[in-house]
Amino acid sequence: VSGDPMDQFTIRASSGEILTSRALDRETVNLYRLLVNATDNSQPRPLYSQTEVLLTILDYNDHVPLYSPEFYSIELNETYSGTYLVQLNCTDGDEINTENTQLSYRIVSGNASVFRVNSTGAVSLTAAGSLDYEQDTLHRLSVECSDAGNPRLSSNAVTLVTVLPINEHTPSFAQPVYNFTISESSAVGFIITTLSAADNDLGADGSIKYAIESGNNPLTFFLDSVTGALGLRRTLDRTQDSEFRLIVSAADGGGLIGRTIININISDVNNNDPVCNRQTFSFQTSENITARVEVGRLSCSDADTGVSGRLQYSITVGNTGGRFSIDASDGRLFVTGPVSRSVQAVYSLLVDVSDQGSPARSISVTVLVEVQAVNRFAPVFLGAPYTANVLENATIGTTVSQINASDADSEEFGRVSYSIVSGNGDNVFLIDRLSGAIVLATTLDYESNTSYLLTGEA
């Protein structure tokens, strides 16, 4: 009679069965109150009665859970320190507080153990999860929302998590200190090593440029800023610079800088001749030497190092009779036995000074050794004693006698001079110092003195 405005139901007049005539939708009308008449066939006036039929529409899981929106997108720095990311919104049109609207969420793809979703649809990072731009720049999560109805219905939403890079990695070299040794003869352009620093950032933040910050004076080395090749810019001279300590940097595009130390030792090449402080050395020795005595020392040096700077000395010319020797290691010159100035006054020796490099380098210097005379012999009178007669009337200046002495020494030690040392108290006589001639210095008087006994000295 009433309660069915949309003609959802029909009733069989004979049996009273109520039937549906249209599809029901509980979400539109969940309760119908039908007023039903029951009429008999009595005449002339049928009798009837009424009853109310309450029809409760039971829910059927016919609504799929729906996301709104179906697509989510967020951007986060890779250093994001939080956990919460985004809240998903999913609804179900079935009856509330029933299994058909009891929703649950799960990530069905794209997770990689980094993300989780809770029972309310909040997406967050797991406790152990973290974002790393260098591993994944984009995460595409497919999150399923399903009800608990029968049959179980579900739908998926896509959540894009874009990871933004942060310059979090400083360039680092494999070693904090590198040690190299190169020869001082290395050619300009010689590549000592190619340095490599690692930076785990991507893009510009992971692009590295190399530079020498300090220690490259005076511009001895070059460093390719892109490849890291470290090479020789100029020729080397170990006598000027034997080692270098370079500070090398690696800078990424984001401004972070890593550093390392490069120690470069320059090994010696025998490229310097020995040098003496003079070209000719002059020494003296005495002729009375009877044992090995040092005469002098040659002062020489070599700017090279190691064996290339270690000197050896040898006499190559002039050592007649082997009268001299030289210490091969320190250049001390010795006379080894007696020498005589009367035989040879000056010895001229040629000394070779060589280093021990390979090949060896050498020079020659002249060493002059003068033999100094020694007064070894006393003068000896020839024909002594001497006797002379003179007339008392001899004039002053008359030569009375001639004495003569010789000396086996040489030069000034062999030159003799004469004097009267006794018997000439009245200075009657004079003696020539050089010739030994004795002459009368005053007149004689036979009656006063008939003889004189003179003692002469040479």
Query: pLDDT by residue (tens digit) across 43-61?
Result: 888 888 888 888 888 777 8
Quick one: average pLDDT of 173-196?
A: 95
Q: Token pair for residue 134? A: 């260098």
pLDDT tens track for 35-45: 888 888 888 88
Query: Residue 107 — pLDDT band, cuts 50, 70, 90?
Result: very high
Written as six digits, the tokens of 393 are 């009337």
Per-residue model confidence (pLDDT) at position 1: 54
User: Residue 329's pLDDT is what?
Assistant: 93
| pLDDT attached to residue 240 | 87
Q: Where does the pLDDT of residue 237 fall: very low under 50, low under 70, confident under 90, or very high at 90 and above?
A: confident
Q: What pLDDT shows up at residue 123?
A: 94
**Is the predicted pLDDT of residue 319 greater than 70, yes or no?**
yes
| pLDDT surpasses 80 at 73 | yes
pLDDT tens per residue, range 342-383: 788 899 999 999 999 888 999 999 999 999 888 878 899 998
Does residue 251 have a pLDDT over 70? yes
Q: Given CA atoms 201, 202, 203, 206 in this order, what sign does their dihedral have?
A: positive
- Binned at pLDDT 50, 70 and 90, residue 32 comes out as confident
Residue 239 confidence class, pLDDT cut points 50, 70, 90: confident
Mean pLDDT of 111-123: 89
pLDDT in the model for residue 112: 67
- Residue-wise pLDDT for 255-271, tens only, equals 999 999 999 999 888 88
Residue 253: band (very low, low, confident or very high) from pLDDT cuts 50, 70, 90 = very high
pLDDT value for 4 = 83
- Decide if 1 contacts 50 (C-beta within 8 A): yes
Q: What is the mean pLDDT of residues 81-106?
A: 91
Work out the percent of the chain whose per-residue pLDDT is above 70. Answer: 100
pLDDT band at 130 (very low <50, low <70, confident <90, very high): confident
